[in-house]
Chain A
């Protein structure tokens, strides 16, 4: 055990010894060290968050064929700090008739629901907050706190648009949670564990190969959970101005914004852990925890980039289409996929690796093709019916 291979425990032991030498009882020292770890992790994430603001602005600029921030510092790297100073010195307005404690609590809960997710993310084999054996449910539980923060913000603002935005977002979150939980069970079935470390360790073959459809459904549900385009019902500028955070100014808005960016990055990380091997990359992770953490963060950044790519390319879907898409397409597909995965996994586990991988992959492709074919038939028949009657004729008939 040395500093390069296991930095967290070495430093913790050293600090524990130091505190013990000062005459502190071991129990108190343990609590103090845990608090110190939390503070360090949260601060590191907030610094990363400042960097993410820059990444987001640069990437969206490239998608929209412009340069993005490039005046303050090299490549505009100092720009986020200028943004933060601007947010801090802005007037902090609490609207008339707002429910003050709830109004002030909501942005904190929003950012907290993202930060607590990092307690379970394994950055390297020995660098992780806690190896929970119900990690995947913990992920969903943190999402529940995020939902709560949005409805609190919408209600406490005493603003119609804020309330409508909150209603919409909660309707979306609660419905897209179902396919998300279902696809979370696919890595569980494949690895036999709900712990993120065990899932990472068992990915000799990345699960995206074994279950490409599962990765796709997870990404879709994650984007809906993030409230990003094409599923940005909560904000929908052209319809409800800015949704649940319409009344927030200054740093309180900044907390929502920071939470959203970090949330997107975190889900990039979860996509990497669940389907793209986490910190593993051809044995490179054995070089040391720093390399492993760098691999995971790079993969998370790629996932974040994909989420941004989708956000800045697609347009918003209407809310009823979106909920129909979830309840009539994504949810049944996710349930069927889970059953097929469990069945194929049970049937082919004992045969050779090649047969197993091929069976898993092609069963996914086949299922995806069948689902698309059913959706296409349905769309065609709906279109035919529409063309036979025609919108004008239908209105006339209804009036008659």
Chain B
């Protein structure tokens, strides 16, 4: 069996595998799948091999190396790395070289992990299919290359499914880790808001964004979380809550835990196969000794509109800095400063980004703030209260990740609202700031993966992963390799 992250890690620490070999293997796999999947925006071979050589030297001298020494990782292209470029999938940051590393990148590198690639994404995180990539073009789903991998962390999800032995950093604002994980048969973790530092994550919607990981298993997610989680003085929204040994925690049993099934998450119009696989998954938990409760999250139907509004408003402000003055794309021969701004932005941004910026500016503009943004924030409170109430009764909430499975490329891209609809079951986690994890619970007759999702209490990321891990010990959906793979 192809070694996963933990095996690679152990092999390097025990001297059975060198960092150079581990990195070389990573590039082998990445290059093998790239023509079919177009999952990366950049391969960082030179710097990765140099770092690997240094780690091997340290290992040779018997020096202390980090917990993840020699383990390769990819970073979604909206996460700043000094190495290579950071474009957020946008033409407006085409050649942008960040003068600093994101805190999560620093933490991984401090533990000896090596960045091998930046992954493709929907521009600035806006999209659910990675068709909105302004730099590379669409990423394909390794289960069916005519279909989308989901988004916006489409590149990371495709790689999590089609490669082994590396970590994949993604980001999740309304489901951008969990939904592509579901579509690609991977396990995607969005931690509690504030669990992981956002410093160095190109902001989309500041009160919703979180960095997370997409991996082959919940256990790998837990290992990664232990390293990247923790308070960061550079991010005022990162929590003081101490980190835990998540890899250890997930091994504790799940018998006696209580899971709630919210009926609002099996809405009308949900793909019946998604619904069936999800219910089968819930049955599996029952067999594991988990108590299943029927619960209600009554404000669920309002979650998606609330999300669309709040994220657009915050994005319109966060993306104002992309103006052709201090970095990024500048339109040619500007006729004045206003022309410089307006043409650089209209030429540099893709259509979905421009739409959202305008919606955002509209809802924040004078006279509309109360009716729109302020109102949305109040509704968000109602959604939070729904979760507070339910979490007094159960330890976690379980539901399908998306109402549909991976859809064909081009099917939804011309109808933004149709695209927003696939996020309906993931956005509540971001609104309520709770952690969420998606993992495969089966396949459709078309052999497309179906994702099951668990929401945990604030800062109970460990308990939530415990449930996913227990599920994965009892099933093998997450082990099924996709048709397109590098291993």
A and B physically associate: no
